[in-house]
Structure 1
């Protein structure tokens, strides 16, 4: 079977990987030669945290997201399985109870247990949650790895669009609004800090009614800060959002106040009105889109289902036929 994939972000690369694994001859159209800041996937946090996402996300996100860590490991990507720590400031302690009611698979920690798990948070919080079944990866390294692996497996990458062959998988994100009219942009902003004074071994979420924060450790003393979610496809970096991120990081640990500000980034994530992804089939084109804030978490499951629909003729979950 021949197949064409439009877009080489996390969705496109995962779809191409699933197709190659089924013996398909795959051509990927993408104008950029390598993964980079032009793509929404570049700015992701890389958390594989289906249970924590269940605080606000629908049930399919939690269930399908549990496939992600195993899938990425099977592709040879380094996945850190250390769980997620969730904390809150004293004045917002009710937020932790609310979060615990909505999230499965967690265990409660007192101050001593938290200090044993993350010594740099010792004395800062009197209680916390630990979600041991979660993981994280470096999204930029994962994109580079998938791209290299696909090239070595025989997939062809082409910069200029041309005639397509076989089934086409449209994974262009917001660029596909020319075909998917109800797709919208949700802006996310992030910052990367470097500090030799803070050592965290797993993602930490700081709950806050106005400025929720997650901090994801990366190699070389780097920490990715994220959590902004703005209904806009504007890709400009705003002063207010950066101030909120940095203020929340300082509240998590004052040593972040002396950290080096390495990078600030923003992009718009594609989402449908219900914030669930979809496979939309129109003739010989299958649109794989609407991953919202769950790109690295849900792309493996969506890619598997897209390949099953094309290769096996199934009608998987989240699959829609559009005959317009």
Structure 2
């Protein structure tokens, strides 16, 4: 695999989270970037626009592999660095995660906390889970007073504002002179990298838009509600143990909250059902009664690009074509690591980080 040369011409397909991060970083290095996307500059077709953008490696260790957890730890170090380089402010918070449960769900909560402890034994660099009494809860999150008798606190976990980040990346791309092509879908066959009048490299970051080239991709549907709740004062992402699905509430700036839970094996992009919306909102109300007077800002769905093992991967389709995909539900938590893996591959043809994070780098199309 050839290495990236100074002032290379690079075509990036897909202007979601990965495409924008790569375009910004490579343009800052002095490369000439052309960015192509099937939608517009607001990233309306990207899973990143609908995400809660939580950075929770210990919380996610209950549902994913150790390599993804290590990527999440990497992200907590990298996001402040990446945000500092942008042309607009982005809300970033590292105030831990709160896990709550009602008395009838104590058995499920005990099993979940047991998983957290088991995974910390596997990865001793994860922070220790802290079990909280009702009095402890009142001290750490006064908004939960009298509603929960116990809970758990996962220190050091974080979150950011996904839409502020996408907008800040766009502003930075504009200043860096990146050539942006909106409503301009492209396929790999549209490029012959290295040829006359062609880019030197092609990076495919299209998510589900790459299914023609990577047919193993599937969509996993997520549904979220954004509300403005001036009476709610939750200070950190809060997860509610639930018998059917785990609810999360991610507080952003100015009393904006992202509430989500559903994870459906489906490519269906239709609006959320009445049932799932009612369940989300009623569960949020049990966490804080102030949600009763909240105003619904948006109810949205999106399908996350997912590979059969629910893990991310990089493919080398040829000497000058790389595909990055499969970020699933962990996009913001693992994208800094995927960014750094691709940068290593471009610079040296190899990636120690890919091995560290157990990210496969296929050298040919998967069968």
TM-score after normalising by structure 2: 0.84
Query: Equivalent of 1:142, from 149, 159, 165?
Result: 165
Matched, 1:308 2:308: no
Name the counterpart of 2:131. Answer: 108
For residue 109 of structure 1, report the CA deviation from its aligned partner.
1.2
Q: Aligned pair 1:155/2:168, yes or no? A: no
Deviation at 1:47, TM superposition (A): 0.4
Structure-2 residue corresponding to 1:230 = 264
Contact 2:91-2:252 within 8 A present in 1 as well: no
Pairing 1:1-12 to 2, within 5 Å after superposition: 1-12=8-19
Given the alignment of the two structures, is residue 48 of structure 1 paired with residue 45 of structure 2, yes or no? no
Give the secondary-structure state (helix, strand or coil) at the position aligned to 1:205: strand
Q: Secondary structure at the residue paired with 2:211?
A: helix
2:92 is equivalent to residue 58 of structure 1: no
Per-residue CA distance 1:46-101 (angstroms, 9 max, x = gap): 10111101011111110011121332211224311101100111100122221212
Question: Does the alignment pair 1:322 with 2:350?
Answer: no
CA shift for structure 1 position 227: 1.8
Give the equivalent residue in structure 1 for 2:5: none
Aligned residues: 324
1:280-300 deviation line (CA, Å, top 9, x unaligned): 110021111000001111111
Query: Match for 2:306 among 259, 262, 271?
Result: 271
CA distance in 2 between partners of 1:95 and 1:112 (Å): 22
Distance 2:218 2:329 in 1: 12
2:92 match: 79
SS in 2 for 1:209: coil
Sort the Cα spacing of 1:71 and 1:156 in 2 relative to 1 into closer, same or farther, 3 A: farther
Q: Which moved more, 1:5-14 or 1:179-188?
A: 5-14
> Could you say what secondary structure the match of 2:243 adopts?
coil
Q: How far did residue 7 of structure 1 move?
A: 0.7
Q: Distance in 2 between matches of 1:323 and 1:176?
A: 13
TM-aligned CA deviation for residue 22 of structure 1? 3.9
Confirm whether residue 118 of structure 1 aligns to residue 148 of structure 2.
Answer: no
Mapped to 2, the partners of 1:14 and 1:111 lie a distance apart of 42
Specify every segment of 5 or more residues in structure 2 that has no aligned partner in the other structure, as ranges.
1-7, 85-89, 121-126, 192-197
Match of 2:151 in 1: 128
Identify which range, 268-277 or 231-240, moves more after superposition: 231-240
Q: Provide the rounded CA distance (Å) in 2 between the counterparts of 1:150 and 1:67.
A: 24
Within the candidate set 16, 37, 54, 1:30 is matched to: 37
TM-score, normalised on structure 1?
0.95
**Alignment counterpart, residue 248 of structure 2, candidates 206, 211, 214:** 214
Which residue of the other structure, out of 86, 91, 107, is the alignment partner of 1:94?
107
Query: CA RMSD for the aligned pairs?
Result: 1.7
CA–CA distance in structure 2, aligned partners of residues 21 and 133 of structure 1: 30
Residue number among 289, 297, 302 corresponding to 1:254 in the alignment: 289
Residue 299 of structure 1, aligned match among 331, 335, 340: 335
Q: Are the equivalent residues in 1 in contact too, given 2:134–2:149 (CA < 8 A)?
A: yes
SS in 1 for 2:264: coil
Change (3 A) 1:323 1:245: closer
The answer on whether the counterparts of 1:211 and 1:244 sit within 8 Å (CA) in structure 2 is no
Q: Alignment partner of 1:178: what SS?
A: coil
Aligned partner of 2:77 in structure 1 is: 70
Give the Å deviation of 1:137. Answer: 0.6
Q: Secondary structure at the match of 1:299?
A: helix
Does residue 170 of the first structure (1) align with residue 212 of the second (2)?
no
Among residues 174, 185, 193, which one is paired with 2:219 in the alignment?
A: 185
**Worse overlay, 29-38 or 83-92:** 29-38
Rg comparison, structure with higher value: 2
